[in-house]
Structure 1
Amino acid sequence: MKIKQYKLGTSGFSLIEVMASIIILFFILLSFFTLLISSAKTINTSETIVNYTYLAQKEMENVYEKSSSSTLNKWEEIKDSIPSLGYAYIGEDSDYTIFQKTIADKKAYILLKIKMHKPYEYSNLTNIIIEVYDEEKDRLKSQMESIVSWGGL
């Protein structure tokens, strides 16, 4: 009767080979997780930008609707009509009359700037700038600009 003899180390994996494969697998998984985390941050940032741009577009459409259906013919009447859109009068600087609106369900506020051209230049046109700021960090998130024509001006 013959007894088979096996040589040690000729079959199976050594401890070094197992450790090397685990380390390689770890680095592959680490790169995939980094990619997934980066993708999630990009998606979140894109969603935020789209939301703030939507707010600016919506408010621009409200102002355009107000201006196109308006029969107002004096700057003071126009200025007095903007609060009907939910804005509060803030003040005036050298070029702008400034109104502000806070959106309750979002953590943002909208700053509406209206710039009137001099009466001898396109007297019925008004430059409208809508800026959307993040209320928590007070940073500009979106800005939209348009020129609208008011009814009787």
Structure 2
Amino acid sequence: MKKMLVLFTQEESGRTLIEIIASIVLLSIIAIPFAGMFVQSSKSINVSDEIINATYVAQTEMEKIYQLSSENNNFHDLISKLDYDERFENDFYKETEKYLIKSNLTRKNNELVQVLVKVFEDEAALDAERPAAQMESIYLWEGN
């Protein structure tokens, strides 16, 4: 009987298979949500990068139009100075390497012009009117 008692009370060095499996399961339960979080974070960073780039393109276009409005340029000479590819009534279209730009210039009165710039990623987004970025302002047009 003493021999049996000694066998049960002796310390074992090392880990059992069940302890190892339990630790792997616990680590997996903790690590899997973090992996999903990293994937989602990466997707969010890519979307944010696209929005920032499109916003920069829209801002640049707005600044070009503002510059022309403050230089006493004739409103009707705007097309040649902004280098647009196409024009349909008040809508002006330009294609860059990555984006399609649609600018709408509408005279509110003799001095004020409403400017709306939309930046699209592709033709499908343009047809569906889903801009990646959009900016709008009203400028005092000092030219005729």
Question: Taking structure 1 as the reference length, what is the TM-score of the superposition?
Answer: 0.77
How much has 1:6 moved relative to structure 2?
A: 4.4
Given residue 93 of structure 2, which amino acid in structure 1 is its aligned partner?
Q
Alignment of 1:1-153 (within 5 A): 6-7=7-8, 10-11=11-12, 12-72=14-74, 78-92=75-89, 97-104=90-97, 106=98, 108-117=99-108, 119=109, 123-135=110-122, 137-138=124-125, 139-153=130-144
- How high is the TM-score relative to the length of structure 2? 0.82
* Contact kept in structure 2, 1:83 and 1:89, CA below 8 Å: no
Deviation at 1:7? 4.3
Percent of matched pairs sharing the same residue: 35
Q: Which residue of 1 aligns with 2:3?
A: none
Cα 1:38–1:57 change in 2 (3 A) is: same
C-alpha separation in 1, matches of 2:9 and 2:20:
17
Moved more, 45-54 or 134-143: 134-143
- Which runs of no fewer than 5 residues in structure 1 stay unpaired? 73-77
Report the Cα distance in structure 1 between the residues aligned to 2:92 and 2:114, rounded to whole angstroms: 14
Structure 2 residue runs without a partner (length 5+): 1-5
Q: 1:50: Cα distance to partner?
A: 0.8
Structure with bigger helix share is 2
Q: How far is the alpha carbon of 1:17 from its aligned partner?
A: 1.9
Post-superposition Cα deviations, 1:31-79, rounded to whole Å, max 9, x if no partner, equal: 221111111111111111111111000000000001100242xxxxx23
User: SS state of the match for residue 87, structure 1?
Assistant: coil
* Whole-angstrom CA distance in 1 between matches of 2:7 and 2:80: 92
How many residue pairs end up in the alignment? 135
